[in-house]
Amino acid sequence: MKTFPYTLLCPRRMTLAAVLGLVTMGAGPALAQSQAVPTVTVKSSASADSYVLDGVIQAVKQSTVAAQASGRIVSFSVKAGDKVRAGQVIATIDDREAQVGSQRAQAQVSQTDADLRNARAQLERTRDLQAQGFVSQAALDTATAQFQSAQAQREQATASARQSALAQGYTRVTAPLDGWVLQTFAQAGDLAVPGTPLLVVYTPQPLRAVVQVPASRTAAVRQARQTAVVVDSGVGTPQSITPLNRVEVPSSDPVSQTTEWRMDLPAKEAAALVPGQQVRVQFAVAGGSGSARLLVPTSAVVRRGELTAVYVASGKTFALRAVRLGADLGSEGTEVLTGLRAGEVVATDPLRAAQPDATPASK
């Protein structure tokens, strides 16, 4: 019996194999080329007369209310966003122990009152007898000392009663100022401990803008001619507010190497702002400073929560490096304050650069 090749008996299988072979041969170069990630060289450019940093709105008058007595929270009558008045009771703590202490103190006051009356009467009788010559001067001195001791015990008991009353008053937590509740940290049923924060209260006015200025920009900010706080509501033209003053906090963060600047805002222009709102602070730098800045394409920036980074070419691979960003200049790119140097090469496609076999594209 004559045999035939399997491929001749199954022409469809042969055709499929041929097609797969052709597809594989054609996809090889394309697949290899897809791992070549486009890059751009970081260059320094002359800075403009102004630059922008991200800031945040803060309340000038803000208070963190903490418990001054220990015990179970019986009631908590406010929540975030509620309006409160100064002296308003916002939480109560179980005061049964404080009540017992106050009753004990009042009992001691009553006892010392009785001892003081007895010592006063004894002193008066002894003084009369000594005047008539029936007792000696030593007896009068003893009665006088007993009366003075009773007076001291009475004052001590009175002070203890006042202290107990204060301790009982601490079980009623009140608002320290007129304003709004920004945040709460407890609720009814929780255990209150002295010093543990319960809530944060703030007044809606006055407000200030706070910005963290990198150390490399501190000198330029000090010499800035003008400062503007730009509020972008997403509708219409962004609002520009000129702050009333500009104050530098005389300390630097040891980790981020930034200095905090605070700018008080006029009440009328800042009426619609709220604490925590993001703003942009624009500094008009004095001309002729000769400073330069680094720009990278906005598409090259990787954002993961609070992390901002770029993929930097290292030989034939990429390494993720954290950077601190400055102003977003739109089509010009994004300013990099720290983390990069001029001449370094970064990937413009972070998703492809994150692949294990990604390589920088040759230019």
208-235 per-position pLDDT tens digit: 999 999 888 888 888 888 888 988 776 6
Looking at residues 49-64, what average pLDDT do you find?
86
| Domain CATH code at residue 192 | 2.40.50.100
Lowest mean pLDDT among 47-51, 72-76, 311-315, 338-342: 47-51
Task: Please state the φ and ψ torsions of residue 122, each to the nearest 5 degrees.
Answer: -65, -40
| Kind plus residue range of the DSSP H or E element containing 91 | strand 89-93
d(CA 335, CA 302): 14
The neighbouring-strand residues paired with 208 are 58, 264
d(CA 136, CA 280): 89
Does residue 13 belong to any structural domain of this protein? no
* Residue 306 confidence (pLDDT): 77
Kind of pairing between the strands at 345-347 and 43-46: unpaired
Instruction: Give the total residue count for the chain.
Output: 363
Q: Are residues 260 and 195 in the same domain?
A: no
Does residue 275 belong to any structural domain of this protein? yes
Q: How many domains does the chain have?
A: 4
* Residue 10 confidence (pLDDT): 41
Residue where a domain terminates, one of 149, 184, 202: 202
Does residue 271 belong to any structural domain of this protein? yes
Q: Are residues 242 and 296 in the same domain?
A: no
Does residue 29 belong to any structural domain of this protein? no
Compare 18 and 274 and report the one with higher pLDDT.
274
Domain that holds residue 154: 95-170
Mean pLDDT for the chain overall: 82
Q: Cα angle vertex 233, ends 310, 308, to 5°? A: 10
CA-wise closest residue to 289 among 50, 52, 53, 54: 50
Supply the pTM of this predicted model. Answer: 0.56
Q: Are residues 79 and 119 in the same domain?
A: no
Looking at residues 16-40, what average pLDDT do you find?
51
Q: In this structure, are residues 61 and 202 in contact, taking their beta carbons and an 8 Å threshold?
A: yes
Q: Are residues 209 and 280 in the same domain?
A: yes
